[in-house]
Amino acid sequence: MTKYKIKLNGLKDGSYKKSFVIGDKFFEAFPTTEIKCVDIEAKTTLDIEKKKIKLLIDINGIVKNIPCDLCTDKINIPISHKTNFIIKKSEKSDFFDDNIIYINDNDKEIDLNKILHEMIVLAFPKKRQHKLNSVNGGECDKEMINLIDKFSTVESPKMDPRWEALKSIKIK
């Protein structure tokens, strides 16, 4: 995955923009994630001013074929995330911490693979379901919801008998 890199050598003060298209093949290198099918664009802006380097990464797109948490029907989830980074020179390279990317003095490019992966995973919502009252037919599968309701058992919580005795005490 060498195409998710930004070259640093020979750049003068100014602003440099670059876009990356992230597809399904990107996530083959990250087998532990449930995200497999995507259509995402990452736009980067590299600002250099008096040896200070700032990087803005803006991702927008869709994660496809994720099961709905309620009905298990496959849905597409839009994601969007923007993060600013500061690039600092250090002896350790290929390392980032919060919003600081450390590079070696000899590095001629920044590899964005791990950073883009982390941004996409963090932008991915924990709760994934169809939109409620959707007009476009994007509602949960009614048959599945009916089956879930039919076989779900809701038990009322049993009160500890020790607490029952406290109910009879009245405060004056």
Encode pLDDT of 21-79 as tens digits.
999 999 888 888 888 899 999 999 999 998 889 999 999 999 999 998 888 888 899 99
Q: Is 69 left (phi over 0), alpha (psi -120 to 50) or beta?
A: alpha
Structure tokens at 12: 């003068």
* Confidence (pLDDT) at 150: 82
Instruction: Work out the average pLDDT over 107-115.
Output: 88
- The CA distances from residue 48 to 8, 72, 117, 154, 166, in Å, are 10, 47, 24, 60, 69
In the structure, what pLDDT confidence band is assigned to residue 145 with cuts at 50, 70 and 90? Answer: confident
Structure tokens at 59: 């991702």
pTM of the model: 0.77
Residue 65: CB atoms within 10 A of its CB come to 13
Is residue 18 exposed (0-12), middle (13-18) or buried (19+ Cβ within 10 Å)? middle
- The CA distances from residue 144 to 112, 131, 140, in Å, are 41, 16, 8
